[in-house]
Structure 1
Amino acid sequence: MFDKVRDKWVDLEPLACGPSPKGQSVTLMAPDFSAQTSTRAHDKTTPPKPAPKPAPAPAPAAKPTGAAVPTFKTHKVAQGESLAKIAALYHVRYQAIARANGITSPFIIRPSQILRIPDVQAAAATQEQRRAAPAANDGGISHAALGQMLTEGRNYLHTLYLRNAEAHPQTDLMHASRAPWMVPAQEEFEKGVRRRPGRDRNDPRILEYFKATPALDKRAAAVDETAYCAAFANWCLGRAGYKGTASALALSFKKWGRPTRDNRPALGAVALIMFKNGQHHVTFVAGIAANGRLIATLGGNQGNAHEVSHSYCPTDRVVAFRYPADYPDYDDDYVLHNVAGDHAPMSASSTH
């Protein structure tokens, strides 16, 4: 960070602020965001009164919604624990714990508070059971609902207030990011990007994607008839600040970044697909069908009109699931919702 008092850059870790009766403020700045933190006294330190017992939950509807059913553990907050520290203990994101407990920014928690912790391992086990005993697909959550969920993956900087082991007020800064490249991917889907038949009727959005693959021949990059699945993946990753392959070839993603855990589907993972004729396609994982045998994808150059679309693909066609090398994945990335697809066949002809 830049120390205005000493007029020079200093290491961010550890960050020490001297005592001051009036409190001190520090502004942390980075290329994408700035956030104000303060050592001001946080609000009252006494733990909140226990909430009244909730009313019995209504009976579940007969038709499933497509969303993964959450189960929870409990955690008693110890002196000096922050929401980030607790989240790391359970391998989930702090936002997931905050949502489960109705905690909003600035995410204040207090000693002795009982938190509900999403049990993502149990949810993942249920997901595997569905795959072993496939059920009928219920259609999945809507694309609009998915878009709302994905907005939580934007690059935000959150402030988390807590009291440290000495009962002094402390502020943590946390980068909120969950597969943030899925946000521009969903936005392009909502724009209705697709190949335009006819001479000189190229979709300008597709031509924009080719800017992320500079080695592509200029003539190929000037028409939307060129397969653009890899260009779309590179463009979305670049919009989120991650480095792709810069290649227009889908196969370039085979050894890019790093594999997901045990090569399993995970939210936002790049899925490299190989068809029976040996051709490849690349897309993003958006979810998984209720039967566990199909992944719901969000990608470019797929569907009946070679559009940016949500389409299903059999999991056994996927050669590799990859994440950016510098992307920190968590257990909850591997618990996927059932997302509605366009029911267009994903084949070599529909992606080339």
Structure 2
Amino acid sequence: MAQYSVRPGDNPSKIAAAFGMTLDQFQNANPNLVEWGTGKWKVLFPGQLVNVDDAGAAGPIDQAPAENNNAPAGFAAPPPWMQIAIMEVGVQEWANGDNPRILEYLQSCGIGGNLLHDETAWCAAFVNWCVQRAGFKAQHSARVSDWWSWGRPVVPTYGAICILQPLTVDQAGSGHIGFLHAEDDTNVWLLSGNSHNQVRIAPYPRSKLIANAPYRWPF
């Protein structure tokens, strides 16, 4: 057995075929990739190491060069803000009082006073806090509609800021925003804040993506 580092666009069937393995063989070599009891495959992410049959390798998996697909260059997987965001998974609103961590997210956008509590819509504030802590220029806004033109547009890329509709200019809680973790045929999987009142990885329908450049990357 050898190890292969997952790249954007990979899936279990594609990897197995590239290394001359059946899907069952690939699953047996990577039992931790399948949920116990359901048999469902877990989400693969770029940079993840999986076991493959090096003897059956047919060559590298075909992938378009970065210069031809507008994929951001210069970042190892995961991007620095994703490393920060992943460490926040599980942060959630408190039933009594306010979670001080969520208040930090909101304060990174300049929010204070009567709006400084963990029931204020904070998905955009979470993105702002992560990007800012990673040393990049953030939007400094907790309103999703302020992020649609932030940074630069990119193709779906692990760690890209992903924006969902609906968007209105007068409601901070309109729409949703998070970091792209993975994709399937019908969903984008986002690592985001204020997702069922917590930071978590969860699927959202592709139909909810904003129509124009839903994936953004810092300059």
1:61 and 2:4 aligned: no
**Equivalent in the alignment of 1:237:** 131
Structure 1 residue 218: Cα displacement: 2.5
SS in 1 for 2:199: strand
CA–CA distance in structure 2, aligned partners of residues 226 and 232 of structure 1: 12
CA–CA distance in structure 2, aligned partners of residues 232 and 270 of structure 1: 11
**Equivalent in the alignment of 1:293:** 186
**Equivalent in the alignment of 2:84:** 184
**Equivalent in the alignment of 2:115:** 220
Match of 1:120 among 39, 63, 79: 63
**Equivalent in the alignment of 2:103:** 207
CA–CA distance in structure 2, aligned partners of residues 250 and 205 of structure 1: 20
CA–CA distance in structure 2, aligned partners of residues 179 and 66 of structure 1: 21
Match of 1:196 among 66, 84, 94: 94
TM-score, normalised via structure 1 length: 0.41
Q: If each structure's strand is expressed as a fraction of its own residues, which one has the higher value?
A: 1
TM-score, normalised via structure 2 length: 0.64
Gaps of 5+ in 2: 1-18, 28-33, 35-40, 66-73
Structure 1 residue 67: Cα displacement: 6.0
CA–CA distance in structure 2, aligned partners of residues 178 and 286 of structure 1: 10
CA–CA distance in structure 2, aligned partners of residues 175 and 294 of structure 1: 25
Matched ranges for 1:192-341 at <5 A: 192-198=90-96, 201-214=97-110, 216-221=111-116, 223-261=117-155, 265-275=156-166, 279-289=174-184, 292-303=185-196, 306-319=197-210, 320-325=214-219
Report how many aligned residue pairs link the two structures.
165
Residue 59 to residue 272, structure 1, CA distance change in 2 (3 Å): closer
Structure 1 residue 266: Cα displacement: 1.8
RMSD: 3.3
Residue 194 to residue 57, structure 1, CA distance change in 2 (3 Å): same
Identity of aligned residues (%): 30
